[in-house]
A and B are shown apart, each in its own frame.
Chain A
Amino acid sequence: MAQDPFAIRAFRVLTGALLIVWLVLPLVPLAIWSFARGWRFPDLLPQAWSLQAWTYALSDTSGVLDSLGLTIGISLGVTVLSVIVGVPAGRALGMYRFRGKQVVELMILAPLIVPGIAVALGIHSVFISLGLTNTVAGVMLVHLVPTLPYMVLVMAGIFANLDADLEQQARSLGAGPVATFWHVTLPAIMPGIIVGGMFAFLVSWSQYVLTLLIGGGRVVTLPLLLFNFATSGRNDIAGAIAMIYILPGIVILLFTARHLSGRNTGLGGIGRQ
């Protein structure tokens, strides 16, 4: 049955349809809301259409554009920091054998297991004494807690598949350690950096609790602003902001589809024990 081309095609169409139902359909009401002027239950569509919510959202007074800029800045910063920490950590886990490696792996994965809010409460008291609460720097640092597991895992997979002899070959051909990294290692691990970096960007982009806790309401990123409007009953503006908010996710999804599939995959897990 599995060999039947018709069955395979039907299965593909079905899964594709389900994906669309699950991922795209929930967004449709939001899109409609952003263009609606009043939309009451049980009407299928709003009585009237308007660009009011979009005009407000894109105006200076709403603070959406400022918040967008801030959120992009924080997420980019977190991505860069994740790469800087994740590449060497992934190399250590993927390429080297050392005492206590399993413990380190567990510690790096811990943020995926332990609830973020529990971690954040502890970090909060430390950050108070360091003066990092209510600051952008503090928010960026706390975002590293959920982003690093993804970055390190992806890089560990990439490094586990990297032939260590390739670097030694470069050294023997006259390249110093820095030139070897730049000309040989970096091109080889680039797919992992791109995939891991995009994970880090999206994870940081979608942080709510950590930003609220460490930022103390002073660092208003897009999800915080979105939540404000949603809870104050402005579904039309919340819909417009939500549309802006999901944009990077879609862009990145389209961009990474190439890297996530096929032979170029950056997702190898932690290899070489």
Chain B
Amino acid sequence: MTQVSINALTRHWPGSARPALDRLSLEIPSGALIALLGPSGCGKTTALKLIAGLVEPTSGDVAFDGRSVLKDPPERRGAVMVFQNHLLFPGMSVAENVGFGLKMRKLPKPRINAQVAEMLALVQLPDLGHRRPSELSGGQQQRVALARALILRPDVLLLDEPLSNLDAHLRIEMRDLIRSLQRDLGITTIFVTHDQEEAVVLADRVALILDGALRQYATAEQFYKRPADAAVARFFGGRNFVPGTSGGGLFHSALGPLHLPGDTPLGPGTLTFRPESIRIGAGAENTVIARVLDRTFLGTQTRLRLMAGGAEIEALLSPDLVEGLEVGSQVPVTLPRQALWVLP
């Protein structure tokens, strides 16, 4: 169990104007599973390599349990990174791959073999030890790569896009495996992903990185309900942004006056709410008459584009709730008070 503190971690690449990673600071509680989320090229993998010791930071610090590990070389840092594309060593068998770290620790052969067998069983790949990595499917290779890291019982596990390159059904299987292994072993884990759904489902907390800088570090729920700014909200599928002014418990905008939750700061701001929080029909408060501009059937949901007052908003609703709601028709919609959030 290891607590990880990242303090103002920065990395400049020579010849690049912007830092790949700009003053990243994160406190990761012991045993937590954290996602570094962001679009590709945002500096997530660099962050992972900095923590693993594979890249030297330009400035900043990484500490495990309060002790700076910057001076430790990667092989003695206690952090093991699993690369994207599950880089198995091609010349070694599956068992040799999984046992590689223990061999480096100079454990006797019988003990390595026993632990390898145990580990392969844990990732549900028994009896495959003698195979070559090239004989395995992508999902199997990914599990071998995970086993190869977990067998070392690292203080900190770093996973770079562990679910990319996997088919949809393998993703879910692998996701559940990572989650259960991480819980059982209690290893502080940081994983990198560009997929917000993956981050939301898997992680205890999510750190959203855009353009090398941390934008918000919070639980997945907060990203939906309390995004730090419009860019964060957009990354998580936010579509509704209405400018206006908050005062006296109300938000004044093109939507008309709306009742706000109690703790909203005063002054000008941007109102945001999730497309799926909009209700069809009149409520006790915050009801607006809207005209249907467009409707799109998405399978499990139907997306409505609405003109409410003078603002265009988007709603995601269950298909049977909006049956018979034609384009051009008028309908009362309600924006529940708890669903509203004002961005500064």
The tally of residues in A whose CB lies under 8 Å from a CB in B reads 17
| Nearest B residue (CB) for A190 | B91
Query: Of A163, A168, A173, A183, which one neighbours B148 at CB under 8 angstroms?
Result: A173
> Smallest CB–CB gap between B93 and chain A, Å?
13
Q: In the complex, what distance in Å separates the CA atom of A129 from the CA atom of B80?
A: 54
Q: Which of the segments B99-107, B231-239, B249-257 contacts the partner chain?
A: B99-107
Q: In the complex, what distance in Å separates the CA atom of A169 from the CA atom of B52?
A: 10
CB pair B80 A173 closer than 8 Å: yes
**Which chain B positions have C-beta within 8 A of A173?**
75, 80, 100-101, 104, 148-149, 152
Query: Of B83, B89, B100, which one neighbours A168 at CB under 8 angstroms?
Result: B83
Q: Does B121 contact A (CB under 8 A)?
A: no
> Smallest CB–CB gap between B157 and chain A, Å?
10
Q: Mark B105-119, 1 if CB is under 8 A from A, else 0.
A: 100000000000000
The tally of residues in B whose CB lies under 8 Å from a CB in A reads 25
Q: Mark B77-102, 1 if CB is under 8 A from A, else 0.
A: 00111010101011100000000110
Q: With contacts A173-B152, A175-B75, A176-B75 known, is A183 near B90, CB below 8 A?
A: no
Query: Of A171, A183, A187, which one neighbours B75 at CB under 8 angstroms?
Result: A171
Q: In the complex, what distance in Å separates the CA atom of A176 from the CA atom of B149?
A: 16
Q: Does A179 contact B (CB under 8 A)?
A: yes
CB pair B104 A166 closer than 8 Å: no
Interface residue SS majority, chain A: helix
Interface residue SS majority, chain B: mixed
**Which chain A positions have C-beta within 8 A of B105?**
174
Q: Does B283 contact A (CB under 8 A)?
A: no
CB pair B87 A166 closer than 8 Å: yes
Q: Does A165 contact B (CB under 8 A)?
A: yes
Query: Of B73, B83, B91, which one neighbours A176 at CB under 8 angstroms?
Result: B73
CB pair A163 B101 closer than 8 Å: no
Q: Does B74 contact A (CB under 8 A)?
A: yes
Query: Of A179, A187, A188, which one neighbours B104 at CB under 8 angstroms?
Result: A179
Query: Of A172, A183, A187, which one neighbours B80 at CB under 8 angstroms?
Result: A172
- Beyond the given A170-B100, A173-B104, please list 13 additional residue pairs across the A-B interface where CB-CB is below 8 A: A168-B83, A171-B54, A171-B73, A172-B74, A173-B75, A173-B100, A173-B101, A173-B149, A174-B75, A175-B100, A176-B73, A176-B75, A183-B100
Q: Which B residues are within 8 Å of any A CB, using their own CB?
A: 49, 52-54, 73-76, 79-81, 83, 85, 87, 89-91, 100-101, 104-105, 148-149, 152, 158
Q: List 22 A-B contacts (CB under 8 A).
A: A165-B87, A168-B54, A169-B87, A170-B100, A171-B53, A171-B54, A171-B73, A171-B74, A171-B75, A172-B74, A173-B75, A173-B101, A173-B104, A173-B152, A174-B75, A174-B101, A174-B105, A174-B152, A175-B104, A176-B73, A183-B100, A187-B91
